[in-house]
Structure 1
Amino acid sequence: MSLLGRILQELLYGSPSEGAYGDGHRCVSLWPGDSMIVLDVVHDEIQFVEILHRDSLS
């Protein structure tokens, strides 16, 4: 697995965005241990999750 594959995992909830999310969008950053989780939230619903600096989930 590539270096990028080892440090980045992504989870998509809902339909993919065709550009910026627009009004009602906010990013929420969480720091569990040595990892970082970034949530893209639109109108109080999670749309996309990025898990950075984490060992592979596979």
Structure 2
Amino acid sequence: MAIVSIDGISKEISIAFIDDLAVGDYVLVHVGYALARIDPAEAKRTLQLLQELGSVGQDLQS
């Protein structure tokens, strides 16, 4: 088990599917499981996209 932080929210997840994780590694998380390790550049692009999608969703609700 490990604690991950996603946009300031911490959550405990299972890391049973991935060997040799280290503090600071980025992982793809789905329903409480780390499914794959991803490189920092890909993680940054993904987080930026999710933030943009959140902004679009907020604009549509206004």
Q: TM-score range by the shorter chain?
A: under 0.3
Which of structures 1 and 2 has the larger relative contact order (alpha carbons within 8 angstroms, sep 6+)?
1
Please give the TM-score of this superposition, normalised by the length of structure 2: 0.22
Structure showing the higher helix proportion among its residues = 2
Please give the TM-score of this superposition, normalised by the length of structure 1: 0.23
Structure of higher CA gyration radius: 2
Structure showing the higher strand proportion among its residues = 1
